[in-house]
A = this chain, B = another copy of it.
Amino acid sequence: MSASPGSAVFAAVDWGTSSLRVWLLGPDGTVLGERRSREGMQVAAETGFRAILEDHLRALDASSGLPVVICGMAGARQGWVEAPYVETPASFDELASGAIAVEGLTREVRILPGVAQKAGGRPDVMRGEETIVVGLAGGSDALVCLPGTHSKWVDVRERRIMGFSTFMTGETYALLAGHSILRHAIDGDVDILSERDAFAAGIEASIKAPDLTLNRLFALRAAGLLGAAGTAESAARLSGLVIGLELAGARRLHPGSETVRLAASGVMLDLYSTALGVAGFSYEAADADEAVRRGLFAAGRQLFPELAASAR
């Protein structure tokens, strides 16, 4: 088998709110080509999903008949074609079989559904993360942590997403750092881990007494006014307070969990590795990028069994 675009069995696409990744995959899941762009759902909803996808496939020399599997916000109501949520407990097989076909194209394009949690008084939704979870968890049970703007903690048992919880962590940090009175007290561009002690102190404070969060936020401003803390230190402490509040909640919601499988990369991997350690979680880190590709490959094999056959 030559590693050329011509050997690709399908294209795998992770279409998020603000970014897009396209891979050509060989029969065994090997990456034969890759494209990344900022043409996420928000851009595509304006300029057209089909045109953007075809541009990238052309740039990758993909054949005109190559099938495509997509996860993420392309399946949202405001996306390309809505792929209704599968409800928890959601089996991995159901996720793939719930894919929606985009009609009227020259090639087969399937969009995977998101997952909704309606029971238990804790409404929640995800779109895209479920595919990372499939790729990451494989056949084993796990508590998966996917940090980000809206961090997800996902409880996987027997190839099912049993339940999950989203925390508005990254968005809350960004709002406070950039748009609140705290913007005067913190340096939003600092490398948080260069102030590891302040970051750890923030995590510990939130875990110990999460009820003091709103007071501790203002204390950052007061410390700045009184010359008691520098802007780099305060940025790290703020990040610690917010991530610590997530970890405190995750511990309450998943009390029986042993090891956390952390799916992240880059700065988020570093921050959450440190944070989980400070909070006393044991964890294994994994690459989120690779995981979503694996999840898309697993879905493609189920959706296009004739192609999958060649991989066996």
Q: Which residues of A contact B (CB under 8 A)?
A: 116-118, 122-125, 150, 165-169, 171-172, 175-176, 179-181, 206-207, 209-215, 217-219, 221-223, 225-226, 228-229, 242, 245-246, 248-249, 251-253
Q: Which residue of B lies closest to A116 (CB)?
A: B226
Measured CB to CB, the closest approach of chain B to A68, in angstroms, equals 26
Known: A123-B222, A223-B123, A253-B212. Is A217-B248 also a contact (CB below 8 A)? no
Task: List, sorted by A's number, 14 A–B pairs whose CB atoms are closer than 8 Å.
Answer: A118-B228, A124-B219, A125-B221, A166-B215, A167-B215, A169-B214, A171-B180, A172-B217, A175-B176, A175-B179, A206-B211, A207-B211, A212-B249, A212-B252
Copies in the complex: 2
Question: Shortest distance in angstroms between A124's beta carbon and chain B's nearest beta carbon?
Answer: 5
Report chain B residues within 8 Å CB of A212: 249, 252-253
Chain B residues contacting A253 (CB-CB under 8 Å) are 212, 215
Task: Give the chain B neighbours of A249 by CB distance below 8 A.
Answer: 209, 211-215
Q: Tell me, rounded to whole Å, the shortest Cβ–Cβ distance linking A153 to chain B.
A: 9
Bound together, the chains give a CA A184 to CA B181 distance in angstroms of 24
Assembly CA distance A248 to B168 (angstroms): 20
CB-CB under 8 A from A229, the residues of chain B are 123
Q: Which of A169, A179, A206, A215 has the most CB of B within 10 A?
A: A215
Give me 5 other A-B pairs in contact (C-beta within 8 A), A207-B211, A214-B249, A215-B249 excluded: A125-B226, A167-B214, A168-B215, A175-B180, A213-B245
Nearest CB in chain B: distance from A25 CB, A: 31
Give the residues in chain B near A117, CB-CB below 8 Å: 222
Residue of B with least CB distance to A251: B211
Task: Give the residue of B168, B211, B219, B221 whose beta carbon is less than 8 angstroms from that of A214.
Answer: B168
* Contact across chains for A123 and B245 when beta carbons are under 8 A apart: no
Residues A123 and B252 in contact in the complex (CB < 8 Å), given A168-B218, A175-B175: no
By the criterion CB–CB under 8 Å, are A218 and B181 in contact? Answer: no
User: A214 — which chain B residues lie within 8 A by C-beta?
Assistant: 167-169, 172, 242, 245-246, 249
Q: Quick check: B175 and A245 within 8 Å, CB to CB? A: no
CA distance A229 to B116 in the complex (A): 15
CB distance from A241 to the nearest CB of B (A): 11
Closest chain-B Cβ to A16's Cβ sits at a distance in Å of 14
Residues of B within 8 A of A210 (CB): 210-211, 213
| A124/B222 contact (C-beta < 8 A), A210-B210, A210-B213 known | yes
